[in-house]
Chains A and B, each alone.
Chain A
Amino acid sequence: GNSVTQMEGPVTLSEEAFLTINCTYTATGYPSLFWYVQYPGEGLQLLLKATKADDKGSNKGFEATYRKETTSFHLEKGSVQVSDSAVYFCALSDNTDKLIFGTGTRLQVFP
């Protein structure tokens, strides 16, 4: 069945460091891929998405490219801020509203 694997955290970085959170997936067909973020005390929010191979999703300085050849959707940001501290979830859908999530990766950014 479909599944998502993402790197375990926590990821601890200093402000302005480069961020990569790895995400790989297993799916039949052509799923849509998502990154969700959960800030402390809040619900999950959609950060970015990509719906087909080679698409790049971007938002708030974060980027992720849908790589079908490596079945990956790694999240990157060139310069993180303290306010980026949160839990990040990679997810896929088979183009319904049902999402399959990874385990989440906690990011901690220190000044």
Chain B
Amino acid sequence: GAVVSQHPSWVICKSGTSVKIECRSLDFQATTMFWYRQFPKQSLMLMATSNEGSKATYEQGVEKDKFLINHASLTLSTLTVTSAHPEDSSFYICSTKPGQGEYSPLHFGNGTRLTVT
């Protein structure tokens, strides 16, 4: 069964509003979570790395004030898209893994499809 739960699976919001996406690790503690975004017919692009108890690390070109990440516990990271616009419509996916080391595989959530009208 799923070890990473992502919610909601899809959301429609009006332009200018904010949307929060949750990513939970179900069977393990996750000190690090990764947030990806996928536009239609394009690659998954890493947006940011979320670290429990500290500030997230954003990839170049990703606005940290627009995509707020909170990783307040070892099992939950949230991504809030603030003042959403139609160009933010995309598929957002989180991933994480239990433990450290190269042999610990990444687990992915099912993704959240955001549509901004």
Contacts of A101 in B (CB 8 A): 36, 43-45
Q: B46 near A: Cβ within 8 Å?
A: yes
Is there an interface contact between A45 and B44, defined as CB atoms closer than 8 Å?
no
Contacts of B111 in A (CB 8 A): 43
Q: How big is chain B's contact interface, by range? A: 20 to 34
Q: B78 near A: Cβ within 8 Å?
A: no
Contacts of A51 in B (CB 8 A): 102
Is there an interface contact between B105 and A46, defined as CB atoms closer than 8 Å?
yes
Binding site for B on A (CB under 8 A): 4, 32, 36, 41-46, 51, 89, 95, 97-104
Cβ-neighbour of B42 out of A32, A42, A103 (below 8 A): A103
21 contacts between A and B (CB under 8 A): A4-B43, A41-B110, A42-B2, A43-B2, A43-B4, A43-B93, A43-B107, A43-B108, A51-B102, A95-B102, A97-B34, A97-B106, A98-B34, A98-B46, A98-B49, A99-B34, A100-B43, A100-B46, A101-B43, A101-B44, A103-B43
For chain B, residues 95 to 117, give those with C-beta under 8 angstroms from any C-beta of chain A.
Answer: 95, 97, 102, 105-111
Contacts of A104 in B (CB 8 A): 43-44
- Taken together as a complex, chains A and B put the C-alpha atoms of A25 and B113 apart, in Å, by 28
Shortest C-beta distance, A93 to chain B (Å), equals: 9
